Each structure stands twice: as C-alpha cells, then as structure tokens.
C-alpha cells in the first residue's frame, strides 16, 4: 500500500502524522511512504531524515492523488480549508486515517462518502489493553497534562516548591486538578515534581487510588457518583442538578487553591461547566486556572479558547491544541500509535481485515462503501 503524509496546514498545527523512524518499519511490512516536502519541518523532522529512512518526498498534489492510505492529524470536522479542497484529489476508494473529530457533520465526510473513502477515526480506538499502543488520545493527553502544569507554573506569581532560605520560608503552592483521566494524572505528577502540594477530584470513584498513588490528596465530595462511569471507562454526562451541587462543593476547594487545572471531559459532548464566574470571584487574586477542556466549551465559564484572560484578579488560560506545543514528541508518539494501528488493519496474510474480524478496526472505521458504518454515526455522517 502507498501511505501518504501531507503537511498539516491548520494554523494551530505543528505536528506531523508520521516521523522518519516509522518509515523502514512500514517498508519492511511491504508498504511505501510518500511524504510531502517539508511536512515534518515544524515538528523538528527535516526532509533529509525521511529520505534517509526510505520515504519518497513529493508535492502535495501527489500525496493526495497517489495514496492508498492518507495519514493525518486532522482529516475530518477539524480539518483546515486547504485540506478540504485537496481531499477532492484523493482516489476513489482510498482510505484516510486520522483524528477526524467524528462528532458532528462536515463537508469532508460527505466528500468521503461520495468518493467511497474508508475513514478511520483514531479518537474512537477502544480503551482495551490490546489497543494501548495505538491510543492517540492517551499519548496526546499525557503531553497536554504535562504542559498544563508548566503553563500554570509559568503564570503563577508564586513558587511551586517550598523553600527555606535565610530570608524566610516560602510555602509551597497549592494545585488542584479537576478531572483525573490521562491528562489529569500527568498534571498531578508534574505539579508534584515541581514541588506543589497537590489535590484532585474526579467523578469516577475508581480514580481515587490512582490519585493517592501519585502522592496527591483526593478531595472527597458528597456527590452520588455510583453511576458516573461508562462501560468504556469514560465519565458519563451527569444531570444539571449534579453539576450544580458539584460547583457548590468546589467553591470551598477553589478558595484555598493557587492553581487549578481542569480536564473534565465527556467524549463527544460539551464539557461540563464546573467553575462559574461567581466561583472565580471567590478565588484568591493572582491564582491561575488552566482549562484544558476549553476546546469542548471549557470547564470554566470565563475561559476563552486560545487566550489568557485575567478576570477578577485570576489568570484564566484556555490553551488550544496543547500537544502541538510539544510537536516533536507529540509527533513521535502519534506516529508510533499510527504505525501500530495501521499494521493491525491487515491480517497475517496481508489482507485488510473484514468487518467483524477485529474490534479495533470495526470501532474506528466510521465511513466505508459510501456511507456511515456505525448505526450511531449515521445521523451525523450521513
């Protein structure tokens, strides 16, 4: 198969879907790699490295026209306008693999349908042990959690660690992590390493032990969370009365905190608003909120996507596409996940697996044969 890697042209995107180290592995499995000239440059992977590993450098038009499998960071509802235009040049019956943001309708999905393109959406990789090495969401969330802790430290006018100096003692900063999935766990680990006193909360009760094992405190709240986890290990959306009570209980916690990192998300849905303007007013002046959920509406009512704002004396950071800020390693991890995912599409005999043969392939294949594959995606993908 010919695997094509276009340069990512979205203004927020610095990553590349495939890094040079994957090229010989894919070639060994019988595939060819076409890479658009300059595709890896912004992430720190020059053209020469791809060439040395056996990839063919080509122009953008050829990447789209010649690929059997186009691999990309954003090839769906999150794609830039140029990608949407260039996708017209894909061969009928080709495949696209990427983070396709498959939760809302988009012209690209209609185009893929018309061209009978098979589309695989990596966000939908099931959270099962066999799929861990393909799990792009975990890879990216891990980096985002780390970067969020650094952003918080950089914007707080206090030190994170305790220091006993001849000029007096500096008390450690207090960090609170709201939502302890993959990003939240890394935010705990990083704020701890920087010396903060860390506490955390998540609606999923199973998280408590993980928080404690990282040396952070789990904040107990009197909320009924017995039914908060889906069978896939994600949080379920709770009703507004639950969130109202949660906000009430959080107010006291936030008053005592220098840094809040929020990561609370419900897959495919708008993130719950857990910090209102009234709650921000009660926070200590100079404290910092990093809202990692800002791209899905935000956990803080006052956060703005892509901006840092100061409201009521509190610095509120709404960073977008945080993993791209660590483009080198983000690309490295994504690329490894992609290699594993791609090779798993084929049986030992080298044939593409048929529907029903592999849970990972079935769950991620959102479009095939001109239409949406999953019952629950038909409404949005057509």
Catalytic annotation, residues: 127, 132, 135, 138, 234
Q: Which two tokens stand for residue 260?
A: 């809040």
| Cβ at position 324, least distance to ligand NAD in Å | 17
Tell me if 291 sits within 8 A of 318, measured CB to CB: yes
Report the residue from 235, 254, 259, 324 that binds ligand NAD according to the rule CB under 6 A. 235
Contact between 138 and ligand NAD by CB under 6 A: the answer reads yes
Residue with smaller CB distance to ligand NAD, 157 or 269? 269
Q: Determine if 324 is a binding residue for ligand NAD (CB under 6 A).
A: no
Residues 6 or more apart whose CB falls under 8 angstroms from that of 378 comprise 371, 372
Q: Does 205 bind ligand NAD (CB under 6 A)?
A: no
Nearest distance, CB of residue 253 and ligand NAD, angstroms: 12
| Rounded Cα distance, 76 and 91, in Å | 17
> In this complex, which beta carbon is closest to ligand NAD, that of residue 2 or of residue 223?
223
Q: Strand pairing of 174-178 and 259-262?
A: parallel
Minimal CA–CA distance to 256: which of 193, 171, 376, 373? 171
Per CB under 6 A, contacts with ligand NAD among 140-199 are 141, 178-184
Q: Which residues contact 14 (CB under 8 A, 6 or more apart)?
A: 8, 42, 43, 324, 325, 327
Residue 272 vs 318, nearer CB to ligand NAD: 272
Residue 267's nearest CA partner among 108, 58, 117, 125 is 125
Q: Which residues pair with 35 in a beta bridge?
A: 5, 57
135 binds ligand NAD (CB under 6 A): yes
Least Å from the CB of residue 216 to ligand NAD: 14
Which of 296, 330, 299 has the alpha carbon at shortest distance from 144? 330
User: What span, in angstroms and rounded, lies between the C-alpha atoms of 107 and 121?
Assistant: 16
Q: Which helix (H) or strand (E) holds 217?
A: strand 217-218
Q: Which of 10, 15, 74, 204 lies at the binding interface for ligand NAD (CB under 6 A)?
A: 204
The residue of the chain with the least Cβ separation from ligand NAD equals 181
Residue among 116 and 127 whose Cβ is closer to ligand NAD: 127
Q: Which two tokens stand for residue 190?
A: 């990083």
How many chain residues bind ligand NAD (CB under 6 A)?
31
C-alpha to C-alpha distance for 197 and 215, rounded to whole angstroms: 9
Stretch that binds ligand NAD, among 64-72, 228-236, 324-332, 338-346 (CB under 6 A): 228-236
Q: Which of 267, 286, 297, 370 binds ligand NAD (CB under 6 A)?
A: 267
132 lies in the binding site for ligand NAD (CB under 6 A): yes
C-beta of 85: minimal distance to ligand NAD in Å?
A: 32
Among 13, 86, 101, 202, binds ligand NAD (CB under 6 A): 202
Residue 234 binding ligand NAD, by CB under 6 A: yes
Give the residue, chosen from 264, 324, 368, 381, that forms a contact with ligand NAD under the rule CB under 6 A.
264
Q: Output the CA torsion 241→242→245→250 (10° steps).
A: -140
Contact residues for ligand NAD (CB under 6 A)?
127-129, 131-132, 135, 137-138, 141, 178-184, 201-204, 233-235, 246, 263-267, 272, 274
């Amino acid at each position: 198969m010919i695997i094509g890697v276009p340069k990512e042209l979205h203004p927020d995107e610095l990553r590349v879907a495939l890094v040079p180290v994957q090229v010989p592995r894919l070639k060994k499995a019988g595939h060819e790699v076409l890479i658009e000239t300059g595709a890896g440059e912004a992430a720190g992977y020059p053209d020469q490295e791809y060439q040395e590993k056996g990839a063919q450098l080509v122009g953008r038009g050829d990447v789209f026209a010649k690929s059997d499998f186009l691999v990309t960071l954003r090839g769906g509802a999150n794609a830039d306008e140029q990608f949407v235009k260039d996708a017209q040049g894909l061969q009928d019956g080709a495949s696209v693999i990427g983070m396709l943001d498959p939760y809302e309708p988009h012209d690209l999905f209609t185009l893929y349908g018309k061209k009978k393109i098979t589309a695989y959406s990596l966000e939908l990789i099931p959270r099962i042990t066999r799929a861990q090495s393909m799990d792009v969401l975990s890879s990216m969330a891990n980096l985002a959690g780390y970067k969020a802790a650094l952003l918080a430290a950089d914007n707080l006018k206090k030190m994170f660690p305790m220091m006993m100096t001849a000029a007096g003692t500096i008390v450690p900063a207090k960090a609170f992590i709201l939502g302890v999935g993959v990003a939240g766990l890394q935010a705990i680990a990083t704020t701890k390493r920087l010396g903060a006193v860390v506490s955390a909360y998540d609606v999923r009760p199973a998280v408590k032990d993980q928080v404690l094992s990282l040396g952070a405190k789990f904040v107990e709240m009197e909320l009924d969370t017995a039914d908060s986890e889906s069978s896939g290990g994600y949080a379920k959306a709770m009703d507004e009365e639950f969130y109202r009570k949660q906000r009430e209980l959080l107010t006291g916690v936030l008053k005592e905190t220098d840094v809040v990192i929020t990561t609370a998300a419900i897959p495919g849905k708008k993130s719950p608003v857990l910090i209102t303007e009234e709650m921000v007013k009660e926070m200590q002046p100079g404290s910092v909120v990093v809202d990692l959920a800002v791209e899905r509406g935000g956990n803080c009512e006052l956060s703005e996507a892509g901006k840092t704002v100061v409201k009521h004396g509190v610095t509120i950071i709404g960073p977008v596409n945080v993993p791209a800020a660590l483009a080198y390693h983000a690309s490295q991890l994504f690329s490894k996940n992609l290699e594993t995912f791609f090779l798993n599409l084929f049986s030992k005999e080298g044939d593409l697996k048929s529907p029903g043969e592999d849970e990972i392939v079935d769950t991620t294949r959102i479009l095939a044969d001109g239409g949406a594959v999953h019952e629950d995606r038909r409404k949005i993908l057509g």
